[in-house]
Amino acid sequence: MTTIFEPLTLKTNTTIKNRFVKAALSETLGNKNYQPTEQLISLYQAWANGGTGLLITGNVMVDPNARGEFGNIVIDRNQNFELLKKWAQAGTTNDTKIFMQLNHPGKQSPKTITKQPVAPSAVPMTGSNSFAFNSPRALTHTEIQQIIAKFVDAAVIAQKTGFSGVEIHAAHGYLLNQFLSPHDNQRTDEYGGSLENRMRIVTEIYQGIREKVGNDFPIALKINSSDFRPDGFSEEDSLKVIQKMDQMGIDLIEISGGNYENPKMQGIGKGAFFIDYAKKVKQTIKTPIIVTGGFNTANGMESAIKNDETDFVGLARPLVMVPDLPKQLKWGNFTSVKLNHLTTGSKKLDKKVGSLIGLSFYQQQMLRIAEDKKVQPTTNAWGALLFSLKHQGISALMPQRSKE
């Protein structure tokens, strides 16, 4: 029987010292040149000291012209690499591994950031936050090739600067998820139509990266179990993409689900959301998987590993509230973490800014960890709202992600 503190060695000979993974959290701690700040580096030092085996960074953008939100880190060939090296160094202390998550937002880039977003097809965002996004234009065939090259360049930079691996972000409604989804992708060339075509951009990014980084550098994929919309990326499609990536030699598959129009990945207190799907996946592939979303008790985490329901437990918000959760669990000091619903006190206002609060509270707490302060659990949303206003100005009140 496997325990949560047992190491696991990936195909590419990288050993993760235990089964805890910090899932990606957009830290919004980039400076105005989209480079890591000292605070971002301290935050990863704190997580590395806290005993997690693998840290996956918040989404790093591969194209300076396509950013998802304020404070993103952007990989650009002209960048000064020293700060990236320091970030990787902090994330690899204490025998920890750090993977850089690579992303392109596609049309999920708010109008406060991108005047003319791009997408597989000119299909506008839907849902109550759609007013915050300009309608996208369809990418040309040449632009798709350029985006693939940007993912590959970014992975090469991650390798050069000392990151232990990369994760391709194909979940949560961003560009690669848009390609996978028949709702968003209505192309008639070889990047649209059949599932094989819709997944082509993902397989080409994977192959492109693998050719450049060699066989000793792990590549992970974050993918939705489903988009949870009738005309979106289905569970059946997701399973086929995972099987294909398994055959192609991917090192790790992280399972999440939903998007910001239908945020199934961020419930509170419902247990691990995607564990049933993960069980199906595990029966059909050899690649280790990470299940992320909803773990909040020691029991839940330990039994998911013991029962072989997943190879790794992905934790995002719990590792903000308890940055040294693995260490505490080891010493018997952790039983569960409570994630609060935050409220402004007005139901009407909560409805308008609820998705912003859910992100900004955790961003506020990550900055506190970076500054060596204690996290502050609360149910009062005003501190998080003021934090966003202070750091981003009035544009903070414009949604940066979609919502139904």
Could you say which of 159, 238, 262, 266 contacts ligand FMN (CB under 6 A)? 266
Tell me how far, at minimum, the Cβ of 215 lies from ligand FMN, in Å: 25
Tell me how far, at minimum, the Cβ of 103 lies from ligand FMN, in Å: 7
**Site membership for ligand FMN, residue 356 (CB under 6 A):** no
Could you tell me whether strands 20-22 and 312-315 are parallel, antiparallel, or unpaired per DSSP bridges? parallel
- Tally Cβ neighbours within 10 Å of residue 181: 23
Site string for ligand FMN, 187-226 (x = CB under 6 A): -----------------------------------x----
Could you say which of 316, 329, 357, 396 contacts ligand FMN (CB under 6 A)? 316
Could you say which of 169, 210, 264, 403 contacts ligand FMN (CB under 6 A)? 169
What tokens were used for 186?
């209505």
Could you say which of 161, 292, 365, 402 contacts ligand FMN (CB under 6 A)? 292
Could you say which of 30, 36, 91, 294 contacts ligand FMN (CB under 6 A)? 294
Determine contact, residues 27/320, Cβ cutoff 8 Å.
Answer: no
Burial readout 241-252 (b: 16 or more C-beta within 10 A, e: otherwise):
bbebbbeeebbb
Determine contact, residues 162/85, Cβ cutoff 8 Å.
Answer: yes
27 versus 204: smaller Cβ distance to ligand FMN:
27
Q: Which of residues 108-147 bind ligand FMN (CB under 6 A)?
A: none
d(CA 172, CA 220): 16
112 versus 292: smaller Cβ distance to ligand FMN:
292
Q: How far is CA 402 from CA 105, 131, 221, 264, 395, in A?
A: 11, 9, 22, 13, 15
Tell me how far, at minimum, the Cβ of 59 lies from ligand FMN, in Å: 3
**Span of 34-42, 126-134, 166-174, 278-286 interacting with ligand FMN by CB under 6 A:** 166-174
71 versus 192: smaller Cβ distance to ligand FMN:
71
Determine contact, residues 385/360, Cβ cutoff 8 Å.
Answer: yes
Alpha-carbon torsion 84, 14, 334, 343, what sign?
positive
Could you say which of 51, 293, 323, 399 contacts ligand FMN (CB under 6 A)? 293
Alpha-carbon torsion 74, 79, 81, 83, what sign?
negative
Residue whose C-alpha is closest to residue 37's, from 72, 5, 69: 72
**Site membership for ligand FMN, residue 239 (CB under 6 A):** no
Q: Where on the chain is the footprint of ligand FMN (CB under 6 A)?
A: 23-26, 58-59, 101, 169, 171-172, 222, 256, 265-266, 292-295, 315-318, 359, 362-363
